[in-house]
Amino acid sequence: MTYTIQSVEFETNKKYYKSYFHSLNGGFDDFYEGNMIESTHYQYLIDNEIIATFSINENQRLTHLYVKEDYKDVYSDILENVILYGSVTKLLFVTNDTDIVNEVIKRDNIIEKQACNYIYKTKQPVDLILSLAQLSDLKKIKETCGDFLDNYEEQIKLGNLYLYKKENEVISIVNVIQHVFDNNACSIGMMTNEQYRKQSYGTKSLIYVGNLLLDQGYDVYAGCYYYNDPSKKTLKKAGFTLTNLICRVDAF
């Protein structure tokens, strides 16, 4: 089959990325989504029909390959053409994308585990109440949480930052990030004041905001670095379940 490849703007491919997201039943957080968005975007066509999309970042890393269902039988051929076209040498992928996982296994590539993705599906009981952070809290938040976020003020203004305080001291914060591919999905991240860790504040903060978002109709995701065992334990205690891993191949 004769094929063509064309570079496009992100917005042109956005609807296909949403299809890719849903084909995986979600399964990636704002980190993976951000890696796709920041890449260069392409469409793969046969006889002027778009049958696949892919994205490659500035390090020649393939950050996704989505092939329409009717063309899955030629997935391997499409991948080879994409690698050749983009001089691809590296790969970032999620483990519930079985198409790319099968290709990695066939190639006997060395896989590096990077992050874990979780989903929150069922509300849990909680006796902690968080409030939306206010600009008047900004100084205290920065002093307590450091560089956990690089845009505290913006997140406060957007109404995305939740806060638990005790006697005017910041105990924990939870940040909410709405997904770009699917506006009904969001990811949350949490940080607890070092002096109050291992006292369930982090777990309860995640539960409170998770419950709130479920009530608002969102699909709720979270992610953490693969080797961050304390974060993995906290997410599990809060009722999050592991959906998949984000992995990379540095010699594809």
Pairing of strands 40-46, 3-8: antiparallel
Domains and CATH numbers, the chain: 3-109 (3.40.630.80), 119-243 (3.40.630.30)
Per-residue confidence (pLDDT) for residue 25, from 0 to 100: 78
What b-and-e string marks burial along 194-210, b requiring 16 or more CB atoms within 10 Å of the CB? eebeeebbbbbbbbbbb
Structure tokens at 77: 């051929």
pLDDT single digits (tens) 106-121? 999 999 999 999 999 9
pLDDT single digits (tens) 30-43? 889 999 999 999 99
pLDDT single digits (tens) 59-104? 999 999 999 999 999 999 999 999 999 999 999 999 999 999 999 9
pLDDT single digits (tens) 46-68? 999 999 999 999 999 999 999 99
pTM of the model as a whole: 0.91
